[in-house]
Structure 1
Amino acid sequence: MHKNFVRLVAVFVVVLAGVGPAMAVTPGQTHAMTQESCSFPFTATDATGTDVTVDAEVESVVALQPSAAQTMWEIGAEEKVTGMPVNDYTSDLAGAESRENIVAEDQFTVNVEKVVALDPDLVLAPNIVPDNTVSKLRDAGLTVYKFESAASIEAVYEKTLLTGKLVGACGGAQERVDAMKAQVDTIEQATEGEDKPRVLYLTGGFTAGNGTFIHSLIERAGGQNVAAEAGISGYAQISDEVVAEYDPEFIVVDTGVPEPRIPEKEPYTNTTAVKEGNVVVLEANELNQPAPRIVNPLTQMAKAFHPEAYAAANITETETTAQQTEMTDGATSGTTTEPTATTSTDGPGFGITAALLALVCAALVALRRT
């Protein structure tokens, strides 16, 4: 199979799972984690309609997809993770390489046998994981929680807090969500009333329209998503005619797509974005995973779209020790780099399987044209 095709499809799968700062987090940094606010047994109904009960605080967790692993790292519970995808999509998680890799060579299909062999106390399954995989793990006697799709920042807040309750890291989860909310509020206050530039998200010839996580991020960053304005819903190819008509002032791309990320042809070369050098390159593992680090690309977009308003808000990244506390169960305390405001101002509507099939077919066509 064509190498670029495999990478492109993998990117689409990760995007569809969420559809990716309260603080700019350095890989490996953790948050304080307290246990007193968690209580067990804890029961929650998951995306399969199953009431999942965790009887006692877990000691070992398997994260079936990168977003679940990232969340564990961000809430300070990474030491509990024994198995996870160990690949390009988790390479920014310090120490990930020491965990058991539980996915196949395609980088996202779960190896059920490896997960069962680890015998974890709990398995975290993002919504992209097929129900039959969840069933196989449950038939093997494992406790599995499958998450709902997180198609908005608010949904990521909820998912993060729920993960904390499931694994016994309620304090770390609450701290992370509070910090995310503070940064999002600051961005929205800074960009309120500003003219919204025309923005095009582009990944391998595809764009993100209405009903997508990327669309919500563009809007929250103070931009106008031209794909949505053109009536595009979900993830779809965008025509040259639409690009020429809407003339994006900014083009957002991610590092998960091989160069060149923007077609070196008209109408792209004639867009305001390309002529003025307004191409925003974002880290794919942060942008495309519905997990806490999505606030990082959100901030980067806001800063690019509204540099003067962003600067006027006096958003600075400072080392803070306010949240440093001793972490329980052998975890270590750490610092967080957290942007603070110094002013006084207060899934797409289609099935994942059908969508992925359409994207695969379209990607094949796109590759044949290159």
Structure 2
Amino acid sequence: MRHVQRRLASTAARALSVAPSQLPRFPPKDAVFENRAVPKPPFQPEAWAAAQPPPRTALSAFAHRIGLGSVLTTPDIVQQACTHSSFVAGEVNAGAATNAQLEQTGNALMGLFASEYLAAKYPYLPTRVLKAAVTAHVGPLTCANVAQEMGPRRFCAGTGLSCSHNPAHPNVVLHTDALASIPRALTALIYQNRSLPAARHFVHSFFLSRHVDLRSMLKFRNPKWALLQLVRKFDRERPVSRLLKETGRFSNSPVYLVGVFSGEDKLGEGFGSSLKMAEYRAAEDALLRVYLTQRPPDEIQLPTSTFPAGPDNVFTEQPFNIFQKGPEQPYTPPDLVVSEIMYESGGRSAVPRVSNAEAPSGSSEVGEAL
């Protein structure tokens, strides 16, 4: 008997997803076959454990762990932010508060904050690349990764639940989508309980402070031709390729270093095992230098900075009156830059579309110095 008691105690200790208040009622009525004549569906302990309400202590610990103890004041708010709509799809949890509306509001706010920040930081970034950069910073996969780093784990209701077993909800909810709803709901709660600058501070701290490689998002089919059109739009001299260094010309593995110049200014450089490859990389490097030009941090001003600032820091217990109106902050719009070069756009821009046969190729496309 002692061995059986120890075994039950160790099993109950490992059941982290079950609240301690629910342990005396285990097993539930669904697991007990009182009438053998009436068939019942098999009992699934994993689904039963996921449907139990999380401990209130775990919810409070989660709010303080991410530094939002002053915003998420009650465990019920934390539970609502961490409860996906798929959790109440069945009859067991019907009527529970979910983060469906908070997720939509938070998603719109995060897209606004990311768009204005990236557009101000990279003024020459093409439109398609800007959209991809916004998705990389605040997209579903990034939100899911941030939620995992926050550590909601098993007490976040609905993160491991699927609606495929319910005929009324045939769609399957992925684990990533359920986790992505948590940071969006938290952003909406901060905006609702504090202010818009406070929500922006939260998004900048957890999302926009991450490093994203934007170079891999810029792909050019013909970088030499695109560089030629770009230089023409800036009214600069025609780009010329010059051989800077070389080694092993008569060996099996030569290396050439080529630079692209516009007058006396070097636009970019690249290396390769052939002159064409080095010139191709040099033109691509010149385009990346232009499109990835960053505005200095002290000159970045965001349109949402005009809103009245609430408390200095949302991660403190400073009281805040939602009806308090502060003065509008000053804002100086930055100077407009030259629009992007949309080559091969089917004639819908200033640069006409050319075929591969009409487009210049080789070293004569950029210059004839080689």
TM range (shorter): under 0.3
Q: TM-score, normalised by structure 2?
A: 0.22
Larger Rg computed on CA atoms: 2
Which has more helix, going by share of residues? 2
Q: Which has the higher contact order (CA 8 A, sep 6+)?
A: 1
